[in-house]
């Protein structure tokens, strides 16, 4: 998993642990490097000290009263014949003495036959000794996994004239220092294990503390909604950055509430404008034929006409019809605007549905029920409105050339009452399916398009639902479900 996909708390925790581990690795690396440098310096200085001490010892032997030989290169083997082993044993180093051409004169080795490589010195080493300011050369090499140093320097007579070359082979033994390093690294590991455990605990609580405020802010932001009143964030004892973020969020909440109020006001105003336009349009429709009727009657009115009474009756019927249309328009808007009162009466849905169907008094409306009695808590008046609007919608959906048939059924399941109203009308077209329950939508030449919207409003108020299935030229089935009790 990529680090950026992890939570902030996890990333803080991981980074802190990695920092501790990185610090421990760096300190261990520095310790090992420091040990290596100290070891190198130690062996270098030790070899120099050994070399100085052996040279001093050899000069004393050359100037000793016991020495009866002339201090010459050729006499070196004779001068040190008996003492070279003692000197090597005292200083714990092998001693080799060469002449100035690099040939072996005498050695402290126990065997009488020295190795071939010990019998002479390479030309490169001889040149290095003679051409350096201190006339000294150290050759360093590894063999069989061990490091060897070999120093070469002149031995002088009393007149500071070189008479021989002193060679000291030196083996770098690091057993003690390696043991010390291992013990140090072991103690360091234990210390850092303890530090790591502490770091894990501190990182856990520190990351939790750091992200606690952010988690609170995140939860508040996730629950922020435009349509409800949002609570402000109140967090004490936070850092300056978190406080700035909280203040910004609280300011945004204030602005959001102001925007929500403005939006709601604008929406209400727009809704009222649309409603006023619709009411004006619907009322204007019957007013036009009423005006024409009155004007026509006024123009043709003749009191002496023998058919005057018949014409007055027709005129009156026309006005009454248009007035009834206007009244139905006003009633439809009034009913749609009213929120249904939840009286929660305990009633028999079967009987109330039958009662609602009685007002139609049509043979093609067929009622069935799954039981004689289906009890639910609902408002009697609102239930009648639901049934009558669905049946009326079904009747109006049937074209004139078809024999009408509307089937109404009341059923139930474990928790809900189910009312279905099926018609054999033209069905709902694909493009109109999403608009069926919208206010003011209708495919009929008459009506306000508020019946199904009102039914949906009532049913959802009682925590129910309404749906439909349709088939072109075969009809539509509306299905209403609502809980038996609330």
The answer to whether residues 249 and 169 belong to one domain is no
The answer to whether residues 244 and 174 belong to one domain is no
Q: What is the rounded distance in angstroms from the CA atom of residue 483 to the CA atom of residue 58?
A: 117
The answer to whether residues 272 and 145 belong to one domain is no
- The string of DSSP codes covering 96-135 is EEE-TTSBEEEE--SSSS--GGGSB--HHHHHHHHHSTT-
- Domain termination residue (choose one: 335, 370, 398): 335
Burial profile 2-37: b = 16 or more Cβ within 10 angstroms, e = fewer: eeeeeeebeebbeebeeebeeebeeeeeeeeeebee
- Displacement of CA 267 from its chain's centroid (Å): 36
**Domain enclosing residue 66, as ranges:** 3-178
**202 falls within a domain:** no
**254 falls within a domain:** yes
SS3 234: coil
Q: Tokens in use for 220?
A: 């508040």
The answer to whether residues 273 and 316 belong to one domain is yes
pLDDT at 420: 94
**328 falls within a domain:** yes
Domain count, the chain: 3
pLDDT at 337: 55
pLDDT at 258: 74
The answer to whether residues 330 and 379 belong to one domain is no
**39 falls within a domain:** yes
| The dihedral sign for the CA sequence 420, 425, 431, 436 | negative
- Closest residue by Cα to residue 111 from 89, 85, 73: 85
**Contact indicator for 379, 324 with CB cutoff of 8 Å:** no
**362 falls within a domain:** yes
The answer to whether residues 375 and 476 belong to one domain is yes
Separate counts of helices (H) and strands (E) for the chain: 10, 12
pLDDT digit string (tens) for 226-266?
Answer: 556 666 666 665 666 667 777 777 777 777 777 777 776 77
Q: What is the rounded distance in angstroms from the CA atom of residue 149 to the CA atom of residue 172?
A: 7
pLDDT at 441: 47
The answer to whether residues 282 and 346 belong to one domain is no
**Contact indicator for 421, 467 with CB cutoff of 8 Å:** no
Q: Tokens in use for 245?
A: 């973020």
pLDDT digit string (tens) for 457-479?
Answer: 888 888 899 999 998 888 999 99
- Displacement of CA 476 from its chain's centroid (Å): 47
The answer to whether residues 12 and 33 belong to one domain is yes
The answer to whether residues 111 and 8 belong to one domain is yes
- Closest residue by Cα to residue 193 from 7, 360, 69, 28: 28
**474 falls within a domain:** yes
- Domain termination residue (choose one: 149, 178, 207): 178
- Domain termination residue (choose one: 178, 202, 219): 178
- Closest residue by Cα to residue 326 from 291, 279, 293: 279
pLDDT at 233: 67
Question: Hey, what's the torsion of the CAs at 392, 395, 396, 401, to 10 degrees?
Answer: -170
| The dihedral sign for the CA sequence 181, 186, 191, 197 | positive
The answer to whether residues 344 and 326 belong to one domain is no
The answer to whether residues 58 and 154 belong to one domain is yes
Domain of residue 149, CATH code: 3.30.450.20
pTM to 2 decimals? Answer: 0.39
The answer to whether residues 384 and 453 belong to one domain is yes
User: What residues in the chain have per-residue pLDDT under 70?
Assistant: 1-9, 65, 110-118, 145, 174-177, 210-214, 218, 220-242, 264, 268-269, 271-293, 318, 321-322, 324-343, 439-451, 486
Domain of residue 449, CATH code: 3.30.565.10
């Amino acid at each position: 998993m990529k680090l950026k996909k992890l939570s902030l708390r996890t990333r803080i925790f991981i980074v802190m642990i990695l920092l501790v581990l990185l610090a421990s690795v760096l300190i261990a690396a520095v310790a090992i490097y420091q040990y290596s440098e100290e070891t190198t310096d130690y062996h270098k200085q030790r070899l120099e000290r050994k070399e100085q001490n052996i040279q001093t010892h050899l000069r004393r032997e050359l100037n000793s009263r016991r020495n009866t030989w002339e201090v010459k290169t050729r006499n070196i083997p004779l001068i040190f014949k008996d003492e070279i082993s003692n000197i090597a044993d005292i200083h714990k180093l092998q001693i080799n003495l060469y002449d100035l051409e690099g040939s072996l004169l005498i050695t402290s080795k126990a065997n009488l036959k020295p190795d071939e490589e010990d019998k002479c010195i390479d030309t490169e080493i001889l040149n290095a000794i003679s051409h350096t300011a201190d006339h000294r050369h150290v050759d360093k090499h590894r063999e069989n996994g061990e490091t060897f140093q070999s120093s070469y320097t002149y031995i002088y007579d009393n007149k500071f004239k070189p008479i021989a070359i002193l060679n000291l082979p030196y083996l770098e033994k690091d057993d003690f220092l390696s043991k010390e390093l291992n013990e140090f690294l072991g103690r360091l590991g234990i210390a850092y294990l303890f530090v790591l455990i502490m770091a894990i605990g501190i990182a856990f609580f520190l990351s939790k503390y750091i992200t606690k405020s952010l988690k609170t802010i995140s939860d508040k932001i996730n629950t922020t909604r435009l349509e409800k009143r949002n609570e402000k964030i109140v967090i004490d004892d936070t850092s300056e950055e978190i406080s700035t973020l909280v203040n910004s969020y609280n300011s945004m909440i204030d602005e959001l509430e102001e925007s929500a109020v403005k939006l709601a006001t604008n929406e209400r105003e727009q809704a009222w404008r649309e409603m006023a336009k619709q009411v004006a349009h619907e009322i204007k429709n019957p007013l036009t034929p009423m005006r024409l009727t009155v004007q026509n009657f006024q123009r043709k009115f003749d009191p002496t006409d023998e058919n005057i009474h018949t014409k007055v009756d027709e005129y009156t019927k026309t006005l009454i019809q248009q007035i009834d249309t206007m009244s139905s328009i006003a009633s439809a808007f009034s009913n749609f605007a009213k929120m249904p009162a939840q009286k929660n009466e305990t009633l028999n849905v079967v009987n109330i549905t039958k009662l609602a169907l009685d007002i139609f008094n049509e043979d093609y409306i067929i009622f069935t029920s799954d039981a004689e009695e289906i009890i639910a808590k609902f408002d009697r008046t609102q239930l009648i409105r639901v049934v009558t609007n669905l049946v009326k919608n079904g009747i109006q959906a049937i074209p004139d050339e078809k024999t009408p048939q509307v089937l109404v059924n009341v059923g139930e399941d474990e928790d809900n009452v189910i009312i279905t109203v099926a018609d054999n009308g033209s069905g709902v077209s694909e493009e109109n399916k999403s608009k069926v329950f919208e206010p003011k939508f209708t495919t009929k030449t008459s009506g306000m398009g508020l019946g199904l919207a009102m039914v949906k409003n009532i049913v959802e108020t009682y925590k129910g639902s309404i749906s439909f299935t349709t088939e072109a030229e075969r009809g539509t089935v509306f299905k209403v479900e609502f809980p038996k009790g609330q």
